A and B are shown apart, each in its own frame.
Chain A
Amino acid sequence: MPDFLMNLFTNYYETAAMILFGIGFTTLLTHRNLIKKIIGFNFMDAAIYLFLAAKGYIAGRLAPIIVDGNTDPSNYVNPIPTGLVLTGIVVSVSVTAFMLALTCRLYDRFHTLDIDEITHLVRKERD
């Protein structure tokens, strides 16, 4: 196996994150059911968190909580991706709740979760 492909296996967290992102994107595009689309969206979110957390890790270092007054930066892993993941989780929870609420309303109105049928019904109503 060529050298540069071995990198896919050394970076297995990142590889897994990218494949997860692809699965989420495929779900988002190919499914007609709105709930499944939202699940795909959450897959993509999870993939991003995995990627960020993996990028922040440095082998052999401690969690970024300063112990015994040791403030040498070479002792601790990167704290920034952790904060970014936190931001991402909060936004993803909010957006998911909002999307689910919109889906609830659409179901109340049209009694279906199929996006094509909803489009069809909307077009019929407009005419």
Chain B
Amino acid sequence: MRNKRFFSRLSDFVEYGSFREEEYTLSPSHKANIDTDTPENRWLTSVQHSERSAPVRLMDWLKLRGFEVFNNLYRIASVIICITLIAVLLSVVVFLPPFGSDDNPAVNEVVERYVSKTVEETGATNSVAGMISAYRGFDTLGEAHVLFVAACSVIVLLRVDPSERRRGRLVDPGMTGEDLDFEPNSDLILRKAAKLLVPLSFILGLYVILNGTTSPGGGFSGGALMGAGLILCSVAFGFGRTQRFFGDGMYHLVKTVCLASYALMMAYFIFMGANGFDDHVWLGVPGSIISGGLILPINIAVGLEVACTMYCFYALFRKGGL
């Protein structure tokens, strides 16, 4: 409706002045004239309007309707940009090597080196784990820090001071205390299912973390599983009960200790020649759980940190605090 009349309004205004719609005014003196809609006033406005040059009229019109103009232009431009983007990307796909071929330029000497030397140099049979925790350990350390910083910023943005909440006075008028304190009646099916699933998800998470060096998985996926277990526990048995064993203090303790120990391990790598794969760490028996040298402790630290972060995100969005 608004868009339909958009261009007719533009032409009306530039051609005749504001005849058909009295909603906008050109200047205070004009406004006084337009207040009563009589034929004489219309004539007066028309005369005053035609005294002004077309560019001035256009500028006036833009001042009034600039936001709408921008919105319409923006929409048209965004559709054009999107179609162009998809076309460009698809035209790139046309020139890519066929799917699943081994003459892909990404399969180069780096891959050969990683695959053929991982067991020998890092002790991990899972070459992805060997790559992300040993060869590219600093990258993964940065990732862990990204998670840490994200959790910190979410805490800064969403945390509600417990003492304020107890007094019923909240920092943000928009966020009602009822919303944060609302505990639904715990469902029987949910509780029974959670009793089965929470231990299972913890065990599976631990399994994935500990076997990160020999099978698919590792700190991040196992940590996500454990975090899911924590969230399920909190949903099924209530926030307060989860808080008893995993509260604010526990969260900060686990998280900082994990991150600090990970950073220390990486520091050890630096001082041992920035490679860390020489004979300083016992690499264990490839294929068994105790293998991969520092990869196993790194996986455990990362896993616990990810579990904490997942639960922290949930608790902050749901309750405004751990």
List chain A positions with a Cβ less than 8 A from chain B.
4-5, 7-8, 10-15, 18-19, 21-22, 25-26, 29-30, 54-61, 63-67, 69, 71-74, 76, 78-83, 86-87, 89-91, 93-95, 97-98, 100-102, 104-105, 107-109, 111, 116, 120
Q: A89-B220, A98-B157 are in contact. List 19 more A-B contacts (CB 8 A).
A: A10-B99, A14-B93, A14-B96, A15-B93, A18-B92, A22-B85, A29-B82, A30-B79, A65-B128, A66-B126, A71-B116, A71-B117, A86-B132, A87-B139, A87-B143, A91-B143, A97-B150, A101-B316, A108-B172
* Residue in contact with B86 in the complex, picked from A22, A80, A101, CB distance below 8 Å: A22
Q: CB within 8 Å of A: which of B24-79?
A: 67, 71, 75, 78-79
Q: Can you give 10 contacting A-B residue pairs, CB < 8 Å?
A: A4-B95, A7-B94, A7-B98, A12-B99, A26-B82, A71-B119, A89-B220, A101-B158, A105-B158, A109-B174
Do residues B115 and A98 form an inter-chain contact, with CB atoms below 8 A?
A: no
Judged by a CB distance under 8 angstroms, whether B136 is at the interface is: yes
* In the complex, the 5 A-B pairs of residues with the closest C-beta atoms, listed nearest first: A94-B150, A59-B100, A22-B86, A108-B174, A29-B78
Interface size class of B (residues with CB under 8 A): 35 or more
Judged by a CB distance under 8 angstroms, whether B253 is at the interface is: no
Judged by a CB distance under 8 angstroms, whether B153 is at the interface is: yes
Do residues B125 and A56 form an inter-chain contact, with CB atoms below 8 A?
A: no
Contacts of B96 in A (CB 8 A): 7, 11, 14
Do residues B126 and A101 form an inter-chain contact, with CB atoms below 8 A?
A: no
- Asked if A98 meets B154 with Cβ closer than 8 Å, knowing A8-B93, A14-B99, A58-B104, the reply is yes
Judged by a CB distance under 8 angstroms, whether B146 is at the interface is: yes
Do residues A73 and B136 form an inter-chain contact, with CB atoms below 8 A?
A: no
Contacts of A80 in B (CB 8 A): 106, 110-111, 114, 131
- Asked if A65 meets B313 with Cβ closer than 8 Å, knowing A55-B106, A80-B106, A98-B153, the reply is no
| 0 or 1 for each of B127-151: is its CB under 8 Å from A? (1 = yes) | 1100110001001100100110111
Interface centre among A22, A89, A107 (most CB of B within 10 A): A22
Judged by a CB distance under 8 angstroms, whether B118 is at the interface is: yes
Do residues B93 and A83 form an inter-chain contact, with CB atoms below 8 A?
A: no
Do residues B119 and A73 form an inter-chain contact, with CB atoms below 8 A?
A: no
Distance A61 CA – B317 CA, assembled complex (angstroms): 43
- Asked if A111 meets B78 with Cβ closer than 8 Å, knowing A87-B139, A97-B150, the reply is no
Judged by a CB distance under 8 angstroms, whether B272 is at the interface is: no
- Asked if A7 meets B95 with Cβ closer than 8 Å, knowing A22-B89, A29-B78, A91-B146, the reply is yes
Judged by a CB distance under 8 angstroms, whether B242 is at the interface is: no
Do residues B82 and A79 form an inter-chain contact, with CB atoms below 8 A?
A: no
